[in-house]
Amino acid sequence: MEPTAYARMAENEQRHWWFTGRRQILATLLRRELAGTRHPATLRILEAGCGSGGNLGMLAAFGTVEAVEYDPGARAIAEHRSGLAIRPCALPHDLPVPDRHYDLIALLDVLEHVEEDRASLAALGAKLKRDGRILVTVPALPWLWSHHDEVHHHKRRYTAQSLTEAVADAGLRVDRIGYFNTLLFPLALVRRVGAIVSGRATEDDRVPSRWLNAALRTVFAAERHLVGRVRLALGLSLFAVLSVPD
């Protein structure tokens, strides 16, 4: 990712509608997925690729959190914000955490940055406890490729089928998969097509005005009542809950 993109992320992820709405959706999804598991204080959680640490507080509500991150600048911000020691890593071959150790691994908009996505999923699978799970989110639909993907150094966007195939090739199982960021999909599509036609790059990580930011967050976060319960046909993002086959 461009250094300027990391800087904007660090500045915006506590306020921008996409970050705040996504955290509400993922927290609701995790509450459902982890219902009936051991007391949260006993759960071991790893965020692989924590960026500047915007999700660490949300994840800490579900257990004891550890994190790794490739980019040194983002890692320093995450350490300052969270008080955690964030270890350096580079998927798939440099993952300095113990095997069969974690109840939950969060891989949130990271896999699309990694050249070897299948090997990375397999490496993370080896870090799970026997009944552990991986929560993955990725950008969806290759035909939506835009300047945003280039600035963020994405290698690919996924479909439900291509993500399922990558998971299977990694020796893991998809327990749940689906699109999200669906309610705002028509608006995003119009905006991106307009950018292609005009030849102008869109800065979709800039925080909009207060009222618009609040409205977009409300609409996006409303999907927390749907994600994992209703199969949405399309969306700007995909989530998947993975496990190791018996």
pLDDT band of 21, cuts 50, 70, 90: very high
Q: What was the pLDDT predicted at 246?
A: 83
Q: What was the pLDDT predicted at 190?
A: 85
Mean predicted lDDT score pLDDT of the chain: 91
Which letter, b or e, does each residue of 177-207 get, where b requires 16 or more Cβ atoms within 10 Å of its Cβ? bbbbbbbbbeebeeebeebeeeeeebebbeb
Q: Give pLDDT tens digits for 102-152.
A: 999 999 999 999 999 999 999 999 999 999 999 999 999 999 888 888 888
Q: What was the pLDDT predicted at 200?
A: 62
Domain count, the chain: 1
Residue 143 structural domain: 3-243
User: Which among 81, 46, 75, 41 is positioned nearest to 61, based on CA atoms?
Assistant: 41
Whichever domain contains 203, its CATH number is 3.40.50.150
CA distance 6 to 50: 12
Read off the pLDDT of each residue in 164-187 and give the average, rounded to a whole number. Answer: 96
Q: Which two tokens stand for residue 90?
A: 């580079």
pLDDT score of 38 more than 70: no
User: Which among 85, 122, 104 is positioned nearest to 27, based on CA atoms?
Assistant: 104
Long-range contacts of 89-94 (CB under 8 A, 24+ apart): 89/48, 89/49, 91/48, 91/49, 91/116, 91/119, 91/120, 91/123, 91/124, 92/116, 92/119, 92/120, 92/122, 92/123, 93/119, 93/123
Chain mean position to CA 164: 16
